[in-house]
A and B are shown apart, each in its own frame.
Chain A
Amino acid sequence: MEFVAETFQNEYLPVGGVDVDAVVTVTASGSGSPAAVSPVTAVVVIIIDVSGSMRWHRRIDHAKQAARVAIDRLREGVLFGIVAGSQEGRFAFPHSPGLVAANGESRKLAKAAVDNLVADGGTAMGRWLMEARQRFIPYQGAIRQAILLTDGFDESETRDYLEAVVRQCEGVFQCDCRGVGTDWRVDELRLIASRLLGSVDIVAEPEDMPADFEAIITRAMAKRAADVSLRLWTPRGGSITFVKQVSPTLEDLTTHGVRVDDRTTDFPTGAWGDESRDYHVHLVVNPQEAGAEMLAGRISLVVDGTAVSQSLVRAIWTDDVAASTRIHPQVAHYNGQAELAAAIAEGLEARAAGDEATATAKLGRAAHLAAETANEGTLRLLARVVDIVDAGTGTVRLRRQVATADELALETRSTRTVRTTAEA
Chain B
Amino acid sequence: MRIELVLTCPECSAAALADDEFCESCGTPLGPRRDAARHHFERDVGRAAAVSDRGLVHDRNEDAFFVAVHGDGVVAVVCDGVSASAAPQVAAAVAADAVGRALLEHVRANGGDRRDAVANALGHGDRAVLDVPWMPSGDRDAPSCTIVAALWEGSTATIGWAGDSRAYWVDANGARALTLDHSWAQEQVAAGAMHVAEAEADGRAHVITRWLGADSPPGEPATAEYDVAGPGRLVLCTDGLWNHLASPGELVDLVAEETGAKALDLARSLTATALARGGRDNVTVAVVDSPKGGSW
Q: Is residue A162 contacting chain B, with contact meaning CB distance below 8 A?
A: no
Complex: chain A residue closest to B21, CB-CB = A295
Query: Cβ of A285 and Cβ of B139 under 8 Å apart?
Result: no
**Complex alpha-carbon distance, A66 and B27, angstroms:** 52
B12 — which chain A residues lie within 8 A by C-beta?
A: 236
Q: Is residue A95 contacting chain B, with contact meaning CB distance below 8 A?
A: no
Q: Is residue B247 contacting chain A, with contact meaning CB distance below 8 A?
A: no
Q: Is residue A381 contacting chain B, with contact meaning CB distance below 8 A?
A: no
Query: Cβ of A294 and Cβ of B139 under 8 Å apart?
Result: no
Complex: chain B residue closest to A285, CB-CB = B27
Q: Is residue A69 contacting chain B, with contact meaning CB distance below 8 A?
A: no
Query: Cβ of A293 and Cβ of B29 under 8 Å apart?
Result: yes
Query: Cβ of A235 and Cβ of B137 under 8 Å apart?
Result: no
Q: Is residue B41 contacting chain A, with contact meaning CB distance below 8 A?
A: no
Query: Cβ of A235 and Cβ of B29 under 8 Å apart?
Result: no
Query: Cβ of A295 and Cβ of B27 under 8 Å apart?
Result: yes
**Complex alpha-carbon distance, A236 and B28, angstroms:** 10
Query: Cβ of B139 and Cβ of A235 under 8 Å apart?
Result: no
24 A–B pairs (Cβ distance < 8 Å), ordered by A: A235-B23, A235-B25, A235-B26, A236-B25, A236-B27, A238-B27, A263-B24, A263-B25, A294-B22, A294-B28, A294-B29, A295-B21, A295-B22, A295-B23, A295-B28, A295-B29, A296-B27, A298-B22, A307-B137, A307-B138, A308-B138, A308-B139, A312-B22, A315-B27
A263 — which chain B residues lie within 8 A by C-beta?
A: 24-25
Query: Cβ of B137 and Cβ of A294 under 8 Å apart?
Result: no
Complex: chain B residue closest to A234, CB-CB = B27
A294-B28, A294-B29 given; 16 more Cβ-contact pairs under 8 Å: A235-B23, A235-B27, A236-B25, A236-B26, A237-B26, A293-B29, A294-B22, A294-B26, A294-B27, A295-B23, A295-B27, A295-B29, A306-B138, A307-B137, A308-B138, A312-B22
Interface residues on A, range: 10 to 19
**Complex alpha-carbon distance, A239 and B28, angstroms:** 16
Most central of A235, A293, A296, A312 by chain B CB within 10 Å: A235
A236 — which chain B residues lie within 8 A by C-beta?
A: 12, 25-27
**Complex alpha-carbon distance, A293 and B30, angstroms:** 10
Interface residues of A in 280-339 (CB under 8 A from B): 285, 293-296, 298, 306-308, 312, 315
Most central of B22, B27, B29, B137 by chain A CB within 10 Å: B27
A293 — which chain B residues lie within 8 A by C-beta?
A: 29
Q: Mark A258-292, 1 if CB is under 8 A from B, else 0.
A: 00000100000000000000000000010000000
**Complex alpha-carbon distance, A397 and B279, angstroms:** 66
Interface residues of A in 209-237 (CB under 8 A from B): 233, 235-237
**Complex alpha-carbon distance, A182 and B26, angstroms:** 52
Interface residues of B in 14-43 (CB under 8 A from A): 21-29
Q: Mark B101-143, 1 if CB is under 8 A from A, else 0.
A: 0000000000000000000000000000000000001110000
A233 — which chain B residues lie within 8 A by C-beta?
A: 24
Q: How near does chain A come to B85, taking the closest CB pair, in angstroms?
A: 17
A307 — which chain B residues lie within 8 A by C-beta?
A: 137-138
